[in-house]
Amino acid sequence: MKAIHVHAAGDLRLSEVQSTRTGPDEVRVKIARGGICGSDLHYYQYGGFGTVRLREPMILGHEVAGHIIEIGSDVRNLREGDLVAVSPSRPCKSCRFCLQGLPNQCLNMRFYGSAMPFPHIQGAFREELIATAEQCVPAEGLSPPEAAMAEPLSVCLHATRRAGEVLGKRVLITGCGPIGVLAVLAARRAGAAEIVVVDIEENPLRFALRAGADQAINTVEEAEALSSYSADKGYFDILMECSGAQAALAAGIGALRPRGVIVQLGLSGDMSLPMTQITAKELELRGSFRFHEEFAVAVDLMSKGLIDVKPLLTHTLPLASFKEAFDIASDRSRAMKVQLDFGA
């Protein structure tokens, strides 16, 4: 079967890989759709992000959905033909963090398409995937493109949980790529009273407004637009920083009110912090990394029509056009979420 490997920055290849046998607690999934994520793009464009670097060829991809074509002997809750969203989160369940109820902090995490450990954890951009039954969430009522959005939506649901009480709060979201726009949907579902979004390009801001943001600010065209929110020690209760850009983080902190909460999602390397403001305004800085139990919640919310991700799906290309798909996904001026059709 074919899979998409990244060998180094700019070196993406469609290669043959060996299929493995299905274990008793596993299923074989014929992948239907796979979404290209920001981390996939970082491996493709730069060979990694921050201190995480490619040290061997790695199959990319962790936003996938498909149909079950084979079931292990011990699997009882799934059937052949089921459409499932496949969670890339595979904690060990036995390390101290797993035992403390923090599976996303697992010391032995096997997360699809990750160069954090070595050997790298191979990803899910392949025609067929062997997954454990517990990774697979039935996606009845959803289309494969929607089901493949469960992973990025889970990231934002986890971040919203990390923010604490959102009901009735004023939320600032910096960075309006897919994660930023999904954060708008998650924060609104959690009861945010007001959501303001910030980006440096118009196209992502338009998507954020369609997702339910109350106001969009282009900081290239309105460099001082956030300064009015900094008066009287700040305005917003929560900052969800999705860009990984230091300038966005600093501006957002300035617009937070005393005892506001910063939730950092964006990952692009270490950033300096305005510690005087954080200390004087008694702000709380909370990291948000991946997810676990939120994956099934994401599928459920989409299945019930409580969160609609379809407007984010801007491009679908066949597997054979994988390089074009990655190039389109790299162009924020025209793309939001680009998916690969593994059956085309």
CATH of the domain at 211: 3.40.50.720
The neighbouring-strand residues paired with 218 are: 199
In a domain, 133, yes or no: yes
- Are 81 and 131 members of one domain? yes
- Are 182 and 260 members of one domain? yes
Instruction: Give the domain range for residue 54.
Output: 2-149+309-341
- Are 204 and 317 members of one domain? no
Supply the pLDDT for residue 260: 98
Q: Going residue by residue through the chain (344 aa), what tens digit of pLDDT does each one get?
A: 999 999 999 999 999 999 899 999 999 999 999 999 999 999 999 999 888 999 999 999 999 999 999 999 999 999 999 999 999 999 999 999 999 999 999 999 999 999 999 999 999 999 999 999 999 999 999 999 999 999 999 999 999 999 999 999 999 999 999 999 999 999 999 999 999 999 999 999 999 999 999 999 999 998 788 989 999 999 999 999 999 999 999 999 999 999 999 999 988 778 889 999 999 999 999 999 999 999 999 999 999 999 999 999 999 999 999 999 999 999 999 999 999 999 86
In a domain, 165, yes or no: yes
In a domain, 94, yes or no: yes
- Tell me if 250 sits within 8 A of 274, measured CB to CB: yes
- Are 220 and 104 members of one domain? no
Supply the pLDDT for residue 344: 62
**Which amino acid is it at 254?**
G
Supply the pLDDT for residue 272: 87
| 3-class SS of residue 143 | coil
In a domain, 294, yes or no: no
Supply the pLDDT for residue 326: 97
CA 64/CA 329 separation, integer angstroms: 16
In a domain, 301, yes or no: no
- Are 238 and 139 members of one domain? no
β-pairing, 337-341 vs 26-35, is: antiparallel
- Are 176 and 240 members of one domain? yes
- Tell me if 316 sits within 8 A of 294, measured CB to CB: no
Considering Cα of 157, then 160, then 166, then 172, what sign does the dihedral take?
A: negative
What does each C-alpha distance from 81 to 19, 26, 158, 167 come to in angstroms?
19, 15, 30, 40
- Are 39 and 174 members of one domain? no
- Are 319 and 266 members of one domain? no
Prior bond of 119 cis (ω within 30°): yes
- Are 103 and 128 members of one domain? yes
- Are 18 and 39 members of one domain? yes
- Are 142 and 222 members of one domain? no
In a domain, 27, yes or no: yes
- Are 79 and 182 members of one domain? no
| Paired tokens of 285 | 């800085």
Count of domains forming the chain: 2
pTM of the model: 0.95
β-pairing, 170-174 vs 136-138, is: unpaired
| Paired tokens of 30 | 């014929």
